[in-house]
């Protein structure tokens, strides 16, 4: 391993865009001995998203949930080329992809185009803001590692406004929850209440988990550090639909609502955020009245939207790609409208499955099997061509009979190479809701089993611990959990 050249002109080239759930699962399962494999992603690591909200409050350190893509790539049978760059354009007609190094310390060459035989589009999605004024500029997100860092900085440093002006990462966000600001001598009561009001938008699993994690942080750590202010901190969760967590069963929704009530997290359903301002959010209430609610911080978890590279690709196939939610693929995950050279997996697609890590990783593993089957078929077809050619040159009757029988066997073997359609196997839905409680909808033979509470939280932890891709990450996460349990969250960073 690691000694052969990365490029072999005899082999077909697979270019994988992305290093998230879909791409990483594909890379992990793929037999790279049959292909040249190139992986292109602006992030040179895999991010374990289910534990991202824990990073936002300092329960886990960022490195615990990251796995550098090269760690995985270097253990493959043949060298995998890992390129840290953002794909800018796909030309499906000439089968090329153009990518760019967008980082500040880029070298003289930072933009190039390479050819592919097969392209795997696994670029995920970005945050859906619906163009609502102020969301992009003033709210925090919970999608990338940088988002969790921003939330953590906001909550941790909780500093007076000017401190942010020196920080590239956060200077765009002017809304700051300011516990230090609230504690600033002479701050008046109304201003303290505003600074200590955290609004989370979106009652999907992301919004619920972020609310739960922030609540734990306030309850477990900040109470001890800021006893005079802790009781005044408020968390509100705003959801436009009639209920939070529509993908969970009714009893788990009710359980979450009652846990949030006990935790003093206010859930506002049928309420829509219309604007995010510097010091408030504008809400459309269930009776359609408009209210401006003062707050110190907004975390936006309003769902997914296709990335530009995905929208551009769709625009190249206007008659086949008509679903605005994402790329349309067939049941073999081949991009509709293209002749089998582009596959798409994960959140960038629009299928009957929810955009989850579970789906993306199963699709990645499935594609690895598809590529293995295709390689097998290619090898047999090459052998058949050789045999057929040789057969025309043979005159000896016995040898001819033997050759014909081998040709027949090879043909049979080729027709036996079948690529089955993708089949998703749902392992259940899990979410952390704070206060050491989790909810789980687990599929069993005769329907779902719903479970909730502290035991489910332990199950949640062990399920995610075992899902982490490497022993290194498992060790780091388990270690951080232990440190947090013993010493509390680290308030000293930044
Ligand atoms: P991603 O994992 O987002 O990966 C996309 C990759 O593409 C990234 O590496 C990105 O850097 C790269 N990329 C972006 N643009 C380009 C470009 N132009 N060129 C090349 N590469 C590019 N799902 C669950 O099933 N269970 C959970 O518990 C769960 N928890 C979650 C918690 C949070 C906070 C979030 C945000 C999501 C959670 N999800 C969960 C959903 C899950 O993370 C996604 O469904 C999953 O990440 C989708 O995988 P993907 O490979 O399609 O995209
Ligand atoms: P989501 O799409 O599930 O939820 C977003 C919510 O925001 C929606 O309920 C929507 O009604 C609400 N919303 C949007 N605009 C609004 C507005 N202006 N005002 C008020 N509410 C508004 O998004 P998500 O929670 O980020 O989840 C994305 C995907 O990732 C889903 O498929 C989810 O299942 C998956 N995920 C799973 C887990 C888990 O399994 N534990 C955790 C996180 C995410």
**H or E segment to which residue 246 belongs:** none
Q: At what angle do helices 357-393 and 21-29 cross, to 10 degrees?
A: 40
**Range name among 224-238, 258-272, 403-417 with the lowest pLDDT average:** 224-238
**Range name among 39-43, 213-217, 254-258, 431-435 with the lowest pLDDT average:** 213-217
Task: Note the pLDDT of residue 160.
Answer: 31
pLDDT at 366 over 80: yes
pLDDT at 49 over 60: yes
What is the number of alpha carbons within 13 Å of residue 170 lying toward its C-beta?
A: 26
ipTM of the complex, rounded to two decimals: 0.99
Apex 127 CA angle, 138 and 345, nearest 5: 165
Name residue, tokens 């690895």.
368
Q: Is the CB of 358 under 6 A from ligand 1?
A: yes
**Long-range contacts made by residues 248-255, C-beta under 8 angstroms, separation at least 24?**
248/429, 248/431, 248/439, 248/441, 248/450, 249/441, 249/448, 249/450, 251/450, 251/452, 252/439, 252/440, 252/441, 252/450, 252/452, 255/433, 255/439, 255/452
pLDDT at 126 over 70: yes
pTM given for the model: 0.93
Would you tell me how many other CB atoms lie within 10 Å of the CB of residue 259?
20
- Is pLDDT larger for residue 102 or for residue 66? 66
- Is pLDDT larger for residue 415 or for residue 164? 415
Task: Note the pLDDT of residue 179.
Answer: 63
Region 419-444: mean pLDDT is 95
CA–CA dist 369, 343 (Å, integer): 13
Task: Note the pLDDT of residue 143.
Answer: 96
Q: What would the pLDDT profile of 273-289 be if each residue is shown by its tens digit?
A: 999 999 999 999 999 99
How remote is the CA of residue 247 from the centroid of ligand 2, in Å? 10
The distance in angstroms from the start CA to the end CA of the chain is: 41
Q: Is the CB of 53 under 6 A from ligand 1?
A: yes
Region 447-457: mean pLDDT is 93
Q: Nearest to residue 436, comparing CAs of 199, 225, 220? A: 220
Q: Is the CB of 206 under 6 A from ligand 1?
A: yes
How remote is the CA of residue 454 from the centroid of ligand 2, in Å? 24
Mutate to test the pocket of ligand 2, among 65, 303, 357, 434 (most ligand atoms within 8 A of CB): 303
Q: What percent of the chain has pLDDT over 70?
A: 92
Task: Note the pLDDT of residue 90.
Answer: 98
- Please state the atom number of ligand 2 nearest to the C-alpha of residue 238: 20
């Amino acid at each position: 391993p690691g000694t052969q050249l990365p490029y072999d002109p005899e082999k077909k080239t697979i270019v994988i865009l992305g290093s998230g759930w879909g791409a990483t699962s594909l890379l992990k399962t793929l037999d790279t001995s049959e292909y040249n494999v190139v992986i292109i992603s602006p992030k040179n690591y895999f991010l374990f998203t289910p534990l991202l909200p824990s990073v936002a409050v300092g329960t886990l350190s960022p490195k615990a949930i990251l796995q550098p893509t090269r760690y995985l790539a270097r253990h493959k049978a043949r060298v995998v080329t890992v390129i840290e760059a953002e794909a800018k354009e796909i030309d499906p007609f000439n089968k090329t992809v153009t990518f760019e190094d967008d980082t500040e310390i880029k070298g003289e060459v930072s933009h190039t185009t390479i050819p592919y035989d097969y392209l795997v589009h696994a670029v995920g999605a970005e945050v859906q803001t619906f163009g609502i004024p102020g969301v992009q500029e003033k709210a925090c997100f919970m999608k990338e590692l940088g988002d969790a860092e921003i939330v953590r900085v906001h909550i941790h440093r909780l500093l007076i406004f000017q401190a942010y002006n020196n920080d590239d990462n956060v200077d765009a966000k002017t809304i700051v929850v300011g516990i230090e600001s609230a504690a600033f001598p002479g701050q008046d009561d109304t201003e303290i209440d505003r600074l200590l009001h955290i609004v989370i938008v979106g009652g999907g699993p992301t919004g619920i988990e972020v609310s739960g994690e922030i609540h734990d942080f306030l309850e477990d750590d900040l109470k001890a550090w800021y006893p005079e202010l802790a009781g005044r901190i408020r968390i509100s969760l705003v959801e436009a639909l009639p209920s939070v967590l529509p993908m969970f069963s009714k009893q788990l929704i009710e359980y979450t609502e009652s846990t949030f009530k006990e935790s003093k997290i206010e859930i506002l359903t049928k309420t829509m955020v219309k604007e995010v301002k510097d010091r408030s959010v504008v809400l459309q209430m269930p009776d359609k009245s408009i209210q401006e609610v003062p707050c110190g911080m907004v975390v936006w978890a309003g769902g997914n939207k296709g990335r530009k590279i995905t929208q551009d690709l769709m625009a190249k196939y206007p008659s086949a790609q008509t679903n605005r939610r994402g790329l349309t693929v067939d049941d073999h995950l081949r991009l509709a409208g293209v002749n089998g050279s582009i596959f798409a997996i994960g959140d960038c697609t629009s299928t009957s499955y929810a955009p989850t890590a579970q789906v993306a990783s199963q699709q990645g593993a499935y594609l690895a099997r598809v590529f293995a089957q295709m390689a097998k078929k290619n090898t047999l077809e090459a052998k058949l061509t050789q045999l057929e050619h040789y057969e025309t040159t043979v005159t000896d009757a016995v040898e001819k009979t033997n050759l014909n029988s081998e040709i027949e066997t090879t043909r049979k073997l080729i027709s036996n190479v079948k690529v089955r359609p993708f089949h998703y196997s749902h392992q259940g839905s899990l979410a952390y809701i704070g206060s050491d409680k989790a909810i789980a909808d687990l599929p069993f033979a005769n329907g779902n089993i719903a479970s909730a509470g502290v035991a489910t939280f332990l199950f949640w932890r062990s399920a995610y611990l075992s899902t982490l891709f490497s022993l290194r990450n498992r060790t780091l996460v388990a270690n951080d959990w232990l440190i947090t349990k013993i010493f509390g969250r680290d308030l000293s960073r930044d």
